[in-house]
């Protein structure tokens, strides 16, 4: 039997993100951890979950051990309900048919804004990143979940560039900027689980992972975190969650 206490940081991210998904939801997912999380949720507690890919696939069913390397790979289409063009899939976002989008980025700030464009100044960036793809559309129109490693260089007070909007400057600034729906829902890291304060919209620690202290989380964050008095502790991955996850990704392409 697989022992629950032995897992990688990436496995932890996929499992905790999967727990945030509910049966019947429509989820916009990319490859990697987001796809693993959505597929794991399908297998364990959300059989009615519908997965969308930016490449145009609706209702994908991923075979264990055959994870697609990109959202345009034909393995994404197996047993799918429909295959559309990218524009039609993004129109589903605009029409309000997507419940959750899985996001990622090189930086995230205290209001959940994400940067996947560049590090440094726009004229002479020190690092150029892949850019938005459909990320801005997803972040503008749906609830978002982010799963990422927790490092101080990633969790910054203000992102160098807002590729995908969270709650912008906090408070009501998102709605006032023309984005009345959606917003950052959860951030899952290898240290803790985060939500956002209902009023200030600043990042808030909901639960720490077993053995992680408040000081450890704050020391790895570039801005002041909110801690509730009743901050909880996440349940560790179960044997069943790890078993199914490792069947989906036996070569640990995304969970090493």
35 is written with which tokens? 């796809």
The mean pLDDT of the chain is: 91
91: number of Cβ within 10 Å: 13
- Which residues are catalytically annotated? 54
* The CATH number of domain 9-119+134-189+236-248, selected from 2.60.40.10, 3.40.50.970, 3.40.1080.10, 1.10.287.1080: 3.40.1080.10
2 is written with which tokens? 């697989």
The structure's pTM equals 0.92
For 13-58, write each residue's pLDDT tens digit.
999 999 999 999 999 988 889 989 999 999 999 999 999 988 888 9
> Is residue 2 very low, low, confident or very high in pLDDT (cuts 50, 70, 90)?
very low
For 181-216, write each residue's pLDDT tens digit.
999 999 999 999 999 999 999 999 999 999 999 999
Question: Where do the domains of the chain lie?
Answer: 9-119+134-189+236-248
pLDDT at residue 5, as a whole number: 56
Whole-angstrom Cα distance, residue 210 to residue 192? 9
């Amino acid at each position: 039997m697989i022992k629950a206490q032995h897992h990688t940081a990436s496995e932890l991210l996929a499992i905790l993100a999967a727990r945030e998904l509910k049966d019947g939801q429509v989820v916009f997912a990319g490859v990697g951890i987001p796809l693993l999380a959505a597929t794991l949720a399908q297998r364990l507690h959300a059989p009615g979950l519908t997965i969308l890919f930016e490449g145009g696939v609706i209702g994908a069913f991923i075979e264990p051990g055959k994870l697609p390397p990109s959202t345009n790979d034909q393995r994404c289409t197996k047993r799918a309900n429909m295959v559309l063009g990218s524009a039609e899939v993004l129109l589903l976002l605009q029409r309000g048919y997507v419940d959750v989008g899985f996001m990622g980025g090189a930086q995230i700030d205290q209001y959940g804004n994400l940067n996947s464009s560049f590090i440094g100044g726009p004229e002479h960036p020190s690092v150029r990143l892949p850019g938005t793809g459909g990320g801005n559309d997803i972040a503008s129109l749906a609830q978002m979940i982010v799963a990422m490693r927790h490092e101080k260089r990633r969790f910054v007070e203000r992102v160098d560039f807002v590729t995908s909007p969270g709650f912008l400057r906090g408070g009501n600034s998102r709605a006032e900027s023309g984005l009345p729906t959606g917003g950052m829902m959860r951030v899952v890291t290898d240290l803790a689980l985060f939500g956002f304060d209902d009023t200030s919209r600043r990042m808030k620690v909901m639960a720490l992972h077993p053995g992680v202290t408040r000081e450890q989380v704050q020391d790895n964050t570039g801005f002041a975190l909110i801690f509730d008095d009743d901050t909880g502790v996440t349940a560790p991955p179960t044997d069943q969650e790890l078993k199914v996850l490792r069947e989906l990704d036996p070569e640990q392409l995304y969970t090493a």
